[in-house]
């Protein structure tokens, strides 16, 4: 399952359907969470979009399903958003209530959507190849990005109640629904953010940093080469999942975590080495899916 990692106990045993393909995992600090993806396929016309709820005890229930596929998902507190895709392509925003019931918000005015971020119960942002779309005040609106966007590398995050876009030119903070933008210079391309901590690509090296009022305090370098796919930092403890640059050498995800005695440990979690198969939350919460569709969970129960 994984190489030795001090301080973490993995739970496993439950399975999801064998043909389920995850696109996004949202974890909670106790190892519970949501799996967003699809079954069937691989042709998009044969897919069924699915959202699965996983309890800390590993009980799996299907919260939503419909023809198509779930392209992205995110949660903030009791509020969840997901992007439902169908051939065309057509993208629809879904929202979850606190009781787990999902409802359609409406069609997203975009030709592609790769990420969605929940800002509040009535605000969500989507990133796609053509730029940004915000849903707020009951309506969708296209937003001109403050800098050129590379949808394969740039990412959006939620900081407090603010949508934050990370590009090589720094962090861009949406003001007034994206009509204005604040800017925070960063000596590196932020690839993961759990405010006030970040992971940035600095000249080909991944570095941990803490965002202070006027500068970034770089506190360490990531051991292991890869691209961040999940990140959390809480209570002085950090955990970071990396998709390795050389999957043949590292057949899984690299998991970097705070060591009990200080410093960091790096272990190999044997799950498919791509984005969408793991979510991290809190100081040690994790929800991942192995290639055989067995759940892997960590965190207090």
Closest CA to 212 of 236, 196, 201, 200: 196
Instruction: Report CA 46 to chain centroid distance, whole Å.
Output: 26
Tell me: the pLDDT tens digits for 166-205? 999 999 999 999 999 999 999 999 999 999 999 999 998 9
Q: Is 90 exceeded by the pLDDT of residue 236?
A: no
Query: Are 93 and 83 a contacting pair, CB within 8 Å?
Result: yes
Tell me: the pLDDT tens digits for 127-152? 998 899 999 999 999 999 999 999 88
pLDDT at 100: 82
Radius of gyration of the chain (CA): 18
pLDDT at 3: 44
Tell me: the pLDDT tens digits for 98-127? 788 999 999 999 999 999 999 999 999 999
Q: Is 90 exceeded by the pLDDT of residue 285?
A: yes
In the chain, what percentage of residues exceed pLDDT 70? 97
Closest CA to 279 of 27, 100, 42: 27
Q: Is 70 exceeded by the pLDDT of residue 295?
A: yes
Give the chain's mean pLDDT: 92
pLDDT at 275: 85
Q: Is 70 exceeded by the pLDDT of residue 229?
A: yes
Q: Is 60 exceeded by the pLDDT of residue 41?
A: yes
Tell me: the pLDDT tens digits for 44-84? 999 999 999 999 999 999 999 999 999 999 999 889 999 99
**Confidence class for position 13, pLDDT limits 50, 70, 90:** confident
Residues in the chain: 301
**Confidence class for position 2, pLDDT limits 50, 70, 90:** very low
CA distance 248 to 241: 17
Closest CA to 168 of 139, 142, 204: 204
Q: How far is CA 25 from CA 110, 210, 251, 269, in A?
A: 23, 25, 20, 15
**Confidence class for position 1, pLDDT limits 50, 70, 90:** very low
Region 16-43: mean pLDDT is 96
- The answer regarding whether domain 12-298 maps to CATH 2.130.10.10 reads yes
pTM of the full structure: 0.93
Q: Is 80 exceeded by the pLDDT of residue 225?
A: no
pLDDT at 213: 78
In the chain, what percentage of residues exceed pLDDT 90? 74
pLDDT at 6: 55
pLDDT at 4: 46
Q: Is 90 exceeded by the pLDDT of residue 240?
A: yes
């Amino acid at each position: 399952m994984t190489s030795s990692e001090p301080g973490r106990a993995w739970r496993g045993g439950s399975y999801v359907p064998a043909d389920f393909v995850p696109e996004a995992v949202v974890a909670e600090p106790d190892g519970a969470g949501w799996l967003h993806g699809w079954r069937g396929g691989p042709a998009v016309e044969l897919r069924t979009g699915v959202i699965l709820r996983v309890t800390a005890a590993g009980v799996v229930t299907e919260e939503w399903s419909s023809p198509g596929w779930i392209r992205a998902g995110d949660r903030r507190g009791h509020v969840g958003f997901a992007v439902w895709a169908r051939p065309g392509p057509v993208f629809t925003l879904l929202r979850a209530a606190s009781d787990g019931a999902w409802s359609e918000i409406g069609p997203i005015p975009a030709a592609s959507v790769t990420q969605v971020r929940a800002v509040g119960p009535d605000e969500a942002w989507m990133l796609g190849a053509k730029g940004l779309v915000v849903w707020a005040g009951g309506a969708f609106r296209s937003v001109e990005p403050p800098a050129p966007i590379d949808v394969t590398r740039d990412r959006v995050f939620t900081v407090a109640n603010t949508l934050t876009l990370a590009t090589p030119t720094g962090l861009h903070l949406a003001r007034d629904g994206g009509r204005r933008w604040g800017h925070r210079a960063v000596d590196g391309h932020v690839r993961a953010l759990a405010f006030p901590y970040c992971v940035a690509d600095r000249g080909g090296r991944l570095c941990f940093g803490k965002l202070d009022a006027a500068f970034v305090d770089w506190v360490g370098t990531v051991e292991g080469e890869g691209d961040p796919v999940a990140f959390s930092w809480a209570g002085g403890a950090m955990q970071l999942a990396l998709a390795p640059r050389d999957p043949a050498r590292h057949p899984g995800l690299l998991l970097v975590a705070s060591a009990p005695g200080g410093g960091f440990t790096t272990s190999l979690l044997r799950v498919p080495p791509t984005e969408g198969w793991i979510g991290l939350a809190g100081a040690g919460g994790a929800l991942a899916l192995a290639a055989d569709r067995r759940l892997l969970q960590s965190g207090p129960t």
